[in-house]
Amino acid sequence: MINTNSKTKIACFHSFANLIQDQFMQGEDKYALGKDKEMTDWVCEISPGETGADWILGAIAKYIIRFKNFKNEKDLLKIATFAYIMWLKQGFHLKAQYEESAKIISSPAGVGGIESKKMVDGLGNRDRQESSGHNLSAGTGKDSGYMPKKHNTTVAGTM
C-alpha cells in the first residue's frame, strides 16, 4: 500500500480523471438509449428507490465487494464512474458552489435541457467558469482545465 499526500493526489489526478472519462466514453455507445439518455437513466427511472438513483448505489456496492475480493483497478474506476454519474444525476453540478451539507435533489426536473451552467472547477468553494460542453481530454495528455486549488476549508470525508 502506497502512502499519499496532497502533492501525490494533485500530480496523479489528471491520469485518474482520464481513466474515468475512458470508462464513461466506452459506455456511450454500449448503453445509449437515444441522444440524451442512457441505460443508467432508464434503470433509475424504473427503479428509483429513495434517492432516485438507488440502482447506482447498488452498482457501487457490487464493485466495492469485487475490489475487496480481487483488487482490480477497473473496479475502482467503475466505483468512481458511478459516483460521478450519481453526482450528475442528483444535479450537484448545477450548484453555484460546493455545499458540505448539500441535500440530494430527488427530482432534478429539466436538468437535461440546461445548455450552459456554471460548472465545478474543483472541490470546495471555488471560482466557477462558464461551460457549455465537456472539458475533457482523455488520452491527449492535455490539461483538462481542472486543477484542485488550495483552500482553508476541510471537507469531511476527504482523503
65 within some domain: yes
Tell me what pLDDT residue 104 has: 53
Does residue 147 lie within any of the structural domains? Answer: no
Number of domains in the chain: 1
Asked if residue 78 is part of any domain, the answer here is yes
Please report, as a single letter, which amino acid is at residue 82: F
pLDDT at 82: 96
The residue segments making up the domain with residue 49 are 6-101+115-131
Give domain status of residue 146, yes or no: no
Q: Three-state DSSP class for 59?
A: helix
49/142 Cα distance (integer angstroms):
39
Residue 140 lies in a domain: no
Q: CA–CA separation, 60 vs 10, rounded Å?
A: 24
| Ranges of the chain whose pLDDT falls below 70 | 101-159
pLDDT of res. 135: 38
* pTM metric for this prediction: 0.63
Q: Is residue 14 part of a domain?
A: yes
| Span between the terminal Cα atoms of the chain, in Å | 15
Residue 141 domain-assigned (yes or no)? no
Reduced to 3 states (helix: H, G, I; strand: E, B; else coil), residue 111 is helix
Query: Residue 52 falls within a domain, yes or no?
Result: yes
